[in-house]
Amino acid sequence: MTVVLRFKPGCPTERSAPELIRSVMDELGVSAQLRIAPIATDEEARVHRFLGSPTIRGNGMDIDPAARARTDFGLG
């Protein structure tokens, strides 16, 4: 499994989110590779279907079920 954390540089959760994700994975016994991928442009946001900072996906699927149908990609 791969978990991808995408964020806008300067996001207040930029430093705390990776630690929190690793902690939750450990607590749940999930073995996964955590990839950290900043999103710096609106084009990158559209390509990566970035909805806001942070965006977290497991195996390509947003962890927020409500976000899966959204299409308002961008840096906001």
Q: Are strands 55-58 and 33-38 parallel, antiparallel or unpaired?
A: unpaired
pLDDT tens by residue, the chain, 76 residues: 999 999 999 999 999 999 999 999 999 999 999 999 999 999 999 999 999 999 999 999 999 999 999 999 999 7
User: What's the rounded Cα separation, in Å, for the pair 7 and 50?
Assistant: 8
- Please give the CATH architecture assigned to the domain spanning 2-67: 3-Layer(aba) Sandwich (3.40)
Cβ pair 48, 41 in contact under 8 A: no
**Structural domain boundaries of the chain?**
2-67
Residue 61: its pLDDT value, please? 94
- Spell out a b/e string for 15-26, using b for 16 or more CB atoms within 10 Å of the CB, else e: eebbeebeeebe
